[in-house]
Structure 1
Amino acid sequence: MNNIELLAPSGSMESLIMAVQNGADAVYLGGTRFSARAYASNFTEQELEDAVDYCHSYGVKVNITLNTLLKDSELDEAVSYAQFLYTIGVDALIVQDTGLIYRLRGLLPDFELHASTQLTIHNGEGALYFTEKGIRRVVLSRELSFEEIRHISRDLGVETEIFVHGALCISYSGQCLMSSILGGRSGNRGRCAQPCRLPYNLVDELGVSRAKAYLMSPKDITAVDNMDEIIDSGVYSLKIEGRMKRPEYVAAAVKYFREEIEGRKEAYHKNNLLKVFNREGFSDGYFHGKTGRDMMSFHYPKNTGVPIGRVNSDGSLTLSEPLRKGDGLRVGEKGLTVEGIRDRGNVKEKAQPGETVKLTGRSTLPEGPLYKTYDFELMDELKRSHNGRYDRKIGLTGTLFFQAGEEASLMVEYKGKTYRRTSKIVETPIKAPLTLERVEEALKKSGESPYVLTAILVDHFGEGFLPIRELNEMRRLLLEDLAEDQVKSAKRTLPEHPDRKPHPMKQEIRENLRLVSVSTKEQLMLALEMGVKDLALYPFYRGARYINFRDVAKVLEEHKEIRLYVKVSNILRTELHAIVEKVKKLEDHGRLAGIITNNAGVIRLLGKDFYIIGDYKLNIMNSDALNFYEEDLAMSMVSEELNRQELKGLKNKERYITMVYGRQEMMHSEYCPVGATVGGMTREVPCNEACMRESYRLKDRMGEEFPVMTDIFCRSYIMNGKPKNLLDSTKDLMHIGIRSLRMDLTTESAEEAREVLHAFLHGEALELPSFNRGHYKRGVE
């Protein structure tokens, strides 16, 4: 049997019991605070302790999600909450905030930490960086292929966790600001409003619609048919997504994945998972490489159900699959629950494939393809997969001593420990003595316990008599001792030692930076012409108008007076080492002032030789977050999700830079809405590179437009349609202590770029016809 861990979601106690009873090795759940599923039911502190104790009685591990970004005002409370979780025996914390990681490594050095997928760890160097900083397990980005997972897990020896079933974010997790910027609900703080599940219109340069659908809504993934590849990859833990899903969803996913892990491969596993929840079917995500439209649910963003026939013009249903009372049906957006089935003059509860029937009740469905969204029989079976908290049993072997005139005893050895209980004195039988079979029958009962004696070894058995209730009590107390010991052994007391102090910086802090970032060759020429001193170039966008590495080298050679930085892509997978070598070779043409990135792999490889500034998607939200990077980063952009008051409250503000102008990058994705539609890309068909011929924008229901940009790796960027403009607030920022500022030019024309550059360089306000102020005034939930 393979020892790979199966990790199940638990959004409620019912889901948790379903997970344990169906064979999960570990569960992950959130409390009422600091969880990346803020709208799940979640657990109170008492419920958490009860859940932990219940799981530990089965030997099931409990990982708690403490995986949101934290503000300074929340960090102490989060640390206190982590200390509570530590004392009740939680096995590991799933974390995102580097300030929290930094604090916990000092206060609770033996508390196992798992790096959330929100940390965007997507290459081997990044995985090593975090493990070297005290992270035990890395939850890899969902975009990785089996080959990349194998390299990180087997070749590098990193303990990894991957998502194998459930919803897929279309942006790299931790790199999405769309919900935050548009509605103030931060995905980094567990409050994502899921704008990716809304309809969009892809328009070209002339405003002509080229595709209209749920263009950013991916199908759920499943790897239930890929267990051999998963096991071969060397991954440690298989994670099922779904803390917001119903308990039956958890039961089904755990049950079928458990059977697949154990080698019981059945076609109905995937079919039943489809019946429980799907969005236009499943995809295998990115496990086998980049895909296009075939991984998307363009037509319907919610549970699609499975096709079971058609509704005819007269309202009758012609069935291709079984139907029964209690099933949920839909045609298009219209749905109902089957109250009864009418077959001519008869009302019945079931109908078979090939039959044409009608439904009883007032609700009707329009003509069209018919889908079953709720399978009553399957859901009922899944609900009954446990009839109580202790239906699943852990089999034990007991050793019995039974002799008249002495106490009977029962002994069990479990996980290296011995447990023993005795009874009253065994009586000399007056009539018929107890048979061994009768004693074994009593001892093999279980009741409300995770354990059951499936075998009895006899140390000694002589004639004697003992009331059956005495045998039952001996067995019950022994199993209780064992369960209580499993629970108590996980509890901890807080260590007594002071928190560590921030590591002293080895690199100088560059105060009062006025950093200008440009993307196109035209913008670059303007910046040089206007005398920019601190210039950042991004040589990764795709297209002839954008800057490339040759342009960077030319600037280094010809403009020695400029402090030149290179923005290195936040996402670099198999191309990481080649890009790092390109960056190093740039110094053949002149000295780089530094690198701007939030790619942990880049930081690990270049941090010793280059001055590195963290980019804004490093998600620095509190005063301890930058301390995690110690000497690797002297400075960083702050999170785009902080408001004025929160910026003011940051300590060591000389280490921070904030953006005062620029289109924020809303999403960074392997999927490209242009490639998947106008480009015609599928798994079999390569993209026709439509993005090289003209530019495109996504248009939402409110008429807002978001430029779609692509890069040399064929990844897409969804940019904010309105630039952030705080050019009128630079003096205020200086007043609250933020002295280094940055502006970004991306899609701006020469005329627009000139206006912005002039205002930025001269500290002037700039009136624009359309702009946003980011979160400077409002902040995020």
Structure 2
Amino acid sequence: MPDTLNHPELLAPAGSLEAFFAAMESGADAVYCGLRQFSARAKARNISLADLEGMLAYARKLRRRIYVTVNTLIREEELPQLAETLADLEALRIDGIILQDLAVWKMARDHFPGLPLHASTQMTVHNAAGVKMLERMGFKRAVLARELTLEEISAIRRETSLELEHFIHGALCFSYSGQCLFSSWLGGKSGNRGRCAQPCRRRYSYRQKYGYYFSPNDLSAIDLLSDLQKAGIGSFKIEGRMKSAEYVANVVSAYRMVMDAPDTQRKESLSQAKDRLKQSFGRLPTKGFLPGPRPTDIAIPSMKGATGRFLGEISALRGGEITFKSRDRLHIGDRIRIQPKSDQAGTAFTIKQLRLGRSTVKAAPAGSLVTVPSSFRDTFRIGDAVFKVSSEQAFTMSEAACRRKLHQAGNIPDQLDLHIALQGRDLTLTGRSGPVEIRQTYEVPVFPATDNPLSVDILRGVFERSGKEPLSLRDITSEPLPPVVIPPSRLKDIRRLFYQAVAQNLSDASNTARQKHLRSALDSLLPIAPLVDGYKRQITVAIDRLRDGHLLNDPLVDRIILPMTASNVQQLAKGHRFTGREDKVVWDIPFVLLGADWRESRDIVRVLTASGFHNFRLNNLGHFPLFDGMQEVTLHCGWRLFTVNSQAALAWKELGISTITLYLEDDRANLENLLRRETGLPTEMTVYASVPLITSRIPLRGLRSDSPVVSDRDDAYRVTQRGGQTVVSPETDFSLLNRLSELEDLGCHRFIVDLSHLGPYSPRGKLVLDALRREGGLPATSSFNFERGME
């Protein structure tokens, strides 16, 4: 196990084979990569299993590590494929899997015990309670939320022994990771399925003032590596599985330079590293939240959301030729991207010809008015921005060269412990690798030793060479050896025969274990069950204020959901409004609980349970420890806890959940597939809500909820800032109120109508309740992904 606490790991992205070798050659201790399925960067080139096997062999010889991302939400129909993938990864003895969906946790823990578990930042673990929950669940490492300060990280470290990983460089999401529905809302391309279309990077207007309001700058914590290590971070993670090998090489080598520098040379190394980072073609750097909870440079609306080094704006066009004054040196082979002022995607191409005036040149200095021909006609406009995204000096390795290197690495070696005993003429070898043990006895000629008798060192010299077999001798021990010699040729023959037998046994054992584990996992998947009639429809209405609690007097409403806030509890203390009906109130725990907020929530839970309330809705793993030692509570699973398959539902059931809320961005096909599985848990579904497209800790100064933020496509969004959180919601609400009978036919009979943003007695709130009564549609609403599908 790596000593990440005293010697932090430098962890690099490997979205392609070329990026993998760039990371290895530039000094990464480990890389993380995604396969071509179940990766939160589905647009990256990603890695095949055959590639991964070669990468592991290459990395093991360098004593480096590889982690594989399985960090997307898993559709019900994908569970068999997930089982196959986990079986393959376990057979390859991968160093860890990074996961989001608890289906992956449950299946790996129950059926693939050889897979070390890392909790993805997509799980939004942001406090000590969340990390301690991961410890209970058997995780080895937590990738912490990027919204934490150094002080908050230190507080987490003091309460856990779990390995902690944190991002140190690369792109930031405006939203808490795992909690952004923006891309999915616009076109069904879910960020939690690895298909984010990055609408946050587009231009918006607020009161007719244009800006990139939701586009954060890039994280660069190179000044804070010592502080991060002192805070308890054991793995420094670089973002960028969508980035080029050149980016990976530049960034990894820069951080390696600083991490390896002696204290006396730290300042000089830091200066050199920052110069190198300028070549990585990112956005403006920010330290994010690490220095404190209110950063001023993390999101600057006047800064374009595009990556790359800004060169200038197009000043003239002629056919496919563009002319602009370049702020930076340009060279044949540089790659540039033209970014329109609208929110449309940019166009990138490599410079094959470059002109200064009428002269064709190979390079142009900074400040030059240059003309660059392209093959694109009628694509660009005067005023479009020009960015350099790659240089002619890029790290390059062809696909063929990458594969030659993988082939030369051979197979992944098995670690072998060897014990030797010599009795008379019988040499007995006992080899152990993982759970496999093999013992063989060979007859050997022995001769009295006059000089240099048989010893452990002599035997190590013979057996540390494994020949063609993928074995690596880790340790060798022996019984007391007599003062004899054995001819070296005989020892080499024995080594060859023994290692052949060991390799065959290990291969057989691996194949047997893979088939056994895979069959166990596949057998655990729930079959389709017949639908059961006779369920009564149950309606739960979410409200924001305690004073609207008399909505329970409406015969339409079975239960209400109330935010578990200090103000609501204080109002409760002034006059108990629910005597005898406490079981009809579900208290909704705030999604984010940082530091003292968690301790305050624990006190509130105790007050509420003492007052006779026992229903609580959880929205983060860090909420579970709030109820440690409590028996008389009923825990409900909010939609933020991701239930898109039956294995995740079973996982929540195991953790103490009594009711699950289906995922808000899911579609009809998957909902039907999931609801046909008998998990033993009642399921609820939100059928009306304002969808929080972004939930963020980043403040948006000067924006108020009384005016919308509008896209270039005239889509309008409300920005609400309260309690240290920024929430971006569409002005169009989500509604399936006209589909309740259809949903019941699918197998769901419990429905949540979320009016917390409207109030049940506002004009709009009354319209919603009326539509609920008559099961009618509402104008100006969206069915989200229900019909069009979630990719």
Q: TM-score, normalised by structure 2?
A: 0.75
Is residue 698–residue 726 contact of structure 2 (8 Å, CA) maintained in 1? yes
Provide closer, same or farther for how the CA distance between residues 648 and 228 of structure 1 changes in structure 2, counting only shifts above 3 A: same
Cα shift readout 1:134-187 (whole Å, capped 9, x = no counterpart) = 111111111111122222235422211111111111111111112122211111
Q: CA RMSD in A?
A: 4.4
Provide closer, same or farther for how the CA distance between residues 349 and 722 of structure 1 changes in structure 2, counting only shifts above 3 A: closer
Tell me the CA shift for residue 519 of structure 1: 1.6
**Which residue of the partner structure matches residue 639 of structure 1?**
663
The yes-or-no answer on 1:768 pairing with 2:778 is yes
Is residue 653–residue 738 contact of structure 1 (8 Å, CA) maintained in 2? no
Letter in 2 for 1:724: F
1:51 is paired with a residue of what secondary structure? helix
Is residue 309–residue 320 contact of structure 1 (8 Å, CA) maintained in 2? no
**Which residue of the partner structure matches residue 564 of structure 1?**
585
Provide closer, same or farther for how the CA distance between residues 412 and 617 of structure 1 changes in structure 2, counting only shifts above 3 A: farther
Provide closer, same or farther for how the CA distance between residues 556 and 665 of structure 1 changes in structure 2, counting only shifts above 3 A: farther
Tell me the CA shift for residue 741 of structure 1: 1.4
| Correspondences of 1:510-525 after superposition (within 5 Å) | 513-520=538-545, 523-524=548-549
Distance, in Å, in 2 between the alignment partners of 1:695 and 1:68 is: 36
Is residue 620–residue 640 contact of structure 2 (8 Å, CA) maintained in 1? no
Distance, in Å, in 2 between the alignment partners of 1:707 and 1:417 is: 71
2:647 is paired with a residue of what secondary structure? coil
The yes-or-no answer on 1:85 pairing with 2:104 is no
Q: 1:659 aligns with which of 676, 686, 691?
A: 686
| Correspondences of 1:95-114 after superposition (within 5 Å) | 95-114=99-118
The yes-or-no answer on 1:120 pairing with 2:140 is no
Distance, in Å, in 2 between the alignment partners of 1:668 and 1:77 is: 32
Is residue 545–residue 568 contact of structure 2 (8 Å, CA) maintained in 1? no
**Which residue of the partner structure matches residue 615 of structure 2?**
594
Tell me the CA shift for residue 776 of structure 1: 2.8
The yes-or-no answer on 1:187 pairing with 2:191 is yes
Is residue 168–residue 218 contact of structure 1 (8 Å, CA) maintained in 2? yes
Tell me the CA shift for residue 623 of structure 1: 0.8
Distance, in Å, in 1 between the alignment partners of 2:46 and 2:754 is: 40
Letter in 2 for 1:118: Q
The yes-or-no answer on 1:741 pairing with 2:768 is no
1:266 is paired with a residue of what secondary structure? helix
Is residue 519–residue 539 contact of structure 1 (8 Å, CA) maintained in 2? no
The yes-or-no answer on 1:728 pairing with 2:738 is yes
| Correspondences of 1:610-629 after superposition (within 5 Å) | 610-629=633-652
Tell me the CA shift for residue 84 of structure 1: 0.9
**Which residue of the partner structure matches residue 227 of structure 1?**
225
Q: 1:699 aligns with which of 694, 710, 715?
A: 710
Distance, in Å, in 2 between the alignment partners of 1:513 and 1:554 is: 30
Is residue 22–residue 395 contact of structure 2 (8 Å, CA) maintained in 1? no
**Which residue of the partner structure matches residue 260 of structure 2?**
262
**Which residue of the partner structure matches residue 392 of structure 2?**
376
Tell me the CA shift for residue 373 of structure 1: 4.4
The yes-or-no answer on 1:711 pairing with 2:731 is no
The yes-or-no answer on 1:43 pairing with 2:47 is yes
Is residue 35–residue 68 contact of structure 2 (8 Å, CA) maintained in 1? yes
Distance, in Å, in 1 between the alignment partners of 2:96 and 2:740 is: 43
Letter in 2 for 1:643: D
Tell me the CA shift for residue 87 of structure 1: 0.9
Distance, in Å, in 2 between the alignment partners of 1:311 and 1:418 is: 72
Distance, in Å, in 2 between the alignment partners of 1:245 and 1:82 is: 26
1:257 is paired with a residue of what secondary structure? helix
Q: 2:570 aligns with which of 547, 550, 554?
A: 550
Tell me the CA shift for residue 537 of structure 1: 0.9
Letter in 1 for 2:139: I
Distance, in Å, in 2 between the alignment partners of 1:3 and 1:170 is: 31
Is residue 557–residue 589 contact of structure 1 (8 Å, CA) maintained in 2? no
Cα shift readout 1:452-493 (whole Å, capped 9, x = no counterpart) = xxxxxxxxxxxxxxxxxxxxxxxxx9xx99xx99x9999786
Q: Which has the higher mean CA deviation after the structures are superposed, 326-335 or 724-733? A: 326-335
Distance, in Å, in 1 between the alignment partners of 2:730 and 2:766 is: 20
Q: Which runs of 5+ in 1 are unaligned?
A: 203-207, 393-410, 424-449, 451-476, 504-509, 542-546, 680-690
2:646 is paired with a residue of what secondary structure? coil
The yes-or-no answer on 1:671 pairing with 2:698 is yes
Distance, in Å, in 1 between the alignment partners of 2:213 and 2:457 is: 58
Q: Which has the higher mean CA deviation after the structures are superposed, 555-564 or 130-139? A: 555-564
**Which residue of the partner structure matches residue 5 of structure 1?**
9
Provide closer, same or farther for how the CA distance between residues 586 and 114 of structure 1 changes in structure 2, counting only shifts above 3 A: same
Tell me the CA shift for residue 529 of structure 1: 6.3
Provide closer, same or farther for how the CA distance between residues 336 and 733 of structure 1 changes in structure 2, counting only shifts above 3 A: closer
Provide closer, same or farther for how the CA distance between residues 730 and 258 of structure 1 changes in structure 2, counting only shifts above 3 A: same
Is residue 161–residue 238 contact of structure 1 (8 Å, CA) maintained in 2? yes
Distance, in Å, in 1 between the alignment partners of 2:721 and 2:564 is: 12
Is residue 658–residue 681 contact of structure 2 (8 Å, CA) maintained in 1? no
The yes-or-no answer on 1:160 pairing with 2:164 is yes
| Correspondences of 1:371-520 after superposition (within 5 Å) | 372-377=388-393, 389=405, 494=513, 496=516, 498=520, 513-520=538-545
Tell me the CA shift for residue 122 of structure 1: 0.9
Is residue 641–residue 775 contact of structure 1 (8 Å, CA) maintained in 2? yes
Distance, in Å, in 1 between the alignment partners of 2:155 and 2:17 is: 37
Cα shift readout 1:67-118 (whole Å, capped 9, x = no counterpart) = 1111221112101111011112212111111022112111112310111111
**Which residue of the partner structure matches residue 428 of structure 2?**
none
Is residue 89–residue 115 contact of structure 2 (8 Å, CA) maintained in 1? no
Provide closer, same or farther for how the CA distance between residues 369 and 556 of structure 1 changes in structure 2, counting only shifts above 3 A: same
Tell me the CA shift for residue 231 of structure 1: 1.6
Tell me the CA shift for residue 290 of structure 1: 2.9
**Which residue of the partner structure matches residue 295 of structure 1?**
298
Q: 2:288 aligns with which of 285, 288, 293?
A: 285
Q: Which runs of 5+ in 2 are unaligned?
A: 341-346, 410-454, 473-495, 527-534
Distance, in Å, in 1 between the alignment partners of 2:507 and 2:278 is: 40
Distance, in Å, in 1 between the alignment partners of 2:226 and 2:394 is: 27
Is residue 317–residue 357 contact of structure 1 (8 Å, CA) maintained in 2? yes
Tell me the CA shift for residue 719 of structure 1: 2.1
Distance, in Å, in 2 between the alignment partners of 1:54 and 1:716 is: 45
Is residue 635–residue 659 contact of structure 2 (8 Å, CA) maintained in 1? yes
Distance, in Å, in 1 between the alignment partners of 2:369 and 2:72 is: 51
Aligned-residue sequence identity (percent) comes to 27
Provide closer, same or farther for how the CA distance between residues 720 and 293 of structure 1 changes in structure 2, counting only shifts above 3 A: same
Q: 1:755 aligns with which of 743, 767, 770?
A: 767
Distance, in Å, in 2 between the alignment partners of 1:536 and 1:43 is: 45
Provide closer, same or farther for how the CA distance between residues 274 and 488 of structure 1 changes in structure 2, counting only shifts above 3 A: farther
2:611 is paired with a residue of what secondary structure? coil
**Which residue of the partner structure matches residue 425 of structure 2?**
none
Tell me the CA shift for residue 62 of structure 1: 1.2
Letter in 2 for 1:176: C
Tell me the CA shift for residue 738 of structure 1: 1.3
Tell me the CA shift for residue 31 of structure 1: 1.3
Distance, in Å, in 1 between the alignment partners of 2:462 and 2:682 is: 57
Provide closer, same or farther for how the CA distance between residues 230 and 524 of structure 1 changes in structure 2, counting only shifts above 3 A: same
Letter in 1 for 2:256: R
Provide closer, same or farther for how the CA distance between residues 167 and 589 of structure 1 changes in structure 2, counting only shifts above 3 A: same
Distance, in Å, in 2 between the alignment partners of 1:412 and 1:225 is: 48
Distance, in Å, in 2 between the alignment partners of 1:336 and 1:111 is: 42
Tell me the CA shift for residue 201 of structure 1: 2.2
Distance, in Å, in 1 between the alignment partners of 2:163 and 2:135 is: 9
Distance, in Å, in 2 between the alignment partners of 1:215 and 1:524 is: 36
Distance, in Å, in 2 between the alignment partners of 1:413 and 1:39 is: 52
Provide closer, same or farther for how the CA distance between residues 767 and 513 of structure 1 changes in structure 2, counting only shifts above 3 A: closer
**Which residue of the partner structure matches residue 452 of structure 2?**
none
Cα shift readout 1:685-707 (whole Å, capped 9, x = no counterpart) = xxxxxx5xx63432222222222
The yes-or-no answer on 1:169 pairing with 2:173 is yes
1:665 is paired with a residue of what secondary structure? coil
